[in-house]
Amino acid sequence: MTEAAPAAGKPAILLVEDDVITRRLIARQLRRAGYAVEEATDGVEALERIREKFFPILITDWEMPQMDGPTLCRKVRELELEGYVYSLLLTARQGKEHLIEGLEAGADDYLTKPPHEPELMARLKTGARIVALEQSLRAANERNRKLSITDALTGAYNRRYFNEQLPAEIERCRRYQHPLSIVMGDIDFFKKINDGYGHGAGDEVLGQFVQLTKRSIRATSDWIARYGGEEFVIVMPETGHAGALQATEKVRAAIAADPFATAAGGIPVTASFGVATLLPNGEGGGQTIDQLIAAADARLYASKHGGRNRVTGE
């Protein structure tokens, strides 16, 4: 019988067995059932493979050189992985005290060697259900976490995230001796937009402002939060003052380039910005978070009073 191609939705398996004949036999059974299988010859090799790649299911022999199955299960449980690893222990031992030892080490289930193929597949179905449930719960928790730190209207981070994350960014700046820049931005004449086109159009403008800003900054490190109303703050880690001014000018130009398309029609939009930078020695925007924000806010105020649609950094 030929081996089936790995089936979509079936979790990948790492099979750990030092006996080559047993390992090949079990691997053939697993692949025939549609599982994607990778093989390791002992616990040390398996642990290294798990550190490099996530395997939702681990099938391991008990008796192996260098590192046995229970020790491998215990060490896997100590790792910080992207998801839960369902561990199935294969053993020739019969005593309950040995099985308890394996389960206490972190194994989820066990089978007596050589494993009976239908029973092995039944245990794997159980393991796959547990893995799928854990992944579903993890995804739901991540969605809830994102909702708790995201402004629902614009998709930017909210004020709570800003208040929690900025101190961490500043601490990282000082620890690694890198500059940090923040930008206060405000949509010009936003009240006139709401009054003239309606609050629905105003909401669309806010959302498009955030999306244009996100496309104009570094997705891997920079981030934007809604500070309040039509005012936003952009955080640029590892960015000096000259770089921040250049990046903010790119944002300003993108906002002003074309009217925003809304249900009420095209709306010309501009924004004003103030930039402050904290250097690793504490210079630039002040020694504290409040001083850094105040410096950026004062420069935003200068942009407003200097004619709007501009970036001020001094």
- Which tens digit of pLDDT belongs to each residue from 244-259? 999 999 999 999 999 9
The pairing of strands 180-187 and 86-91 is: unpaired
First to last CA, the chain: 75
Active site residue 45: no
Comparing 13-146 with 159-312, is the CATH topology the same?
no
- Tokens 């599982």 correspond to 35
Tell me the average pLDDT across 218-229. 96
CATH architecture of 13-146: 3-Layer(aba) Sandwich (3.40)
Neighbours of 192 (CB within 10 A): 10
Residue type, 310: R
Domain range summary for the chain, segments of one domain joined by +: 13-146, 159-312
Rounded to the nearest integer, the mean pLDDT of the chain is: 91
Phi, psi angle pair for 79, to nearest 5°: -80, 150
The 10s digit of each residue's pLDDT in 144-154 is 888 899 999 99
The 10s digit of each residue's pLDDT in 111-140 is 888 888 999 999 999 999 999 999 999 889
Residue 273, pLDDT score: 98
Fold exhibited by the domain 159-312: Alpha-Beta Plaits (3.30.70)
Q: Annotated catalytic residue: which of 38, 169, 230, 314?
A: 230
CA distances from 148 to 143, 161, 200, 223 (A): 9, 9, 23, 16
Phi, psi angle pair for 270, to nearest 5°: -130, 170
Q: Are 18 and 113 in contact (CB under 8 A)?
A: no
Q: Where are the alpha helices (DSSP H) in 150-232?
A: 159-175, 190-197, 199-216
Task: Reply yes or no on whether the pLDDT at 314 is more than 90.
Answer: no
Tell me the average pLDDT across 179-205. 97
| pLDDT above 70: percentage of residues in the chain | 93
Task: Reply yes or no on whether the pLDDT at 287 is more than 80.
Answer: no
